[in-house]
Amino acid sequence: MRESRLRILLVVSLEERSTDMDDLEAGSLYLVDRDGSLFLLRPYLTRRECTFCGQWELFFLDKYDRGAGVCTVKSLEKGHTIEDDEVTAVFRHVGMILP
């Protein structure tokens, strides 16, 4: 049996850089590739203050209650969840939830 090796690099770094891009969203998260190109992570991953513990954490869509029209986002760090009906339209727009 041949052994497969996989290298995983996990990087969570918040830093400030200068850019010539004029359409950046203040407060939004971006990935930076090796060439320095920026990729907006919102709405797939958002940084917000957790209403449960008060810490700033990264959140992703965990579930959607179609009857109530409410999304639940979940913290990557601690697993805390927040119900948020304001992000429903955004997730629908990018195709993450059905109309």
| φ, ψ (nearest 5 deg) of residue 88 | -55, -50
What pLDDT shows up at residue 91? 92
CA distances from 65 to 78, 87, 93 (A): 22, 12, 16
Is the pLDDT score of 8 beyond 50?
A: no
What pLDDT shows up at residue 14? 62
pTM score: 0.71
- For the chain, give every domain's residue range: 45-93
Interval 44-97: pLDDT, tens: 998 889 999 999 999 999 999 999 999 999 999 999 999 998 899 999 999 999
What pLDDT shows up at residue 11? 55
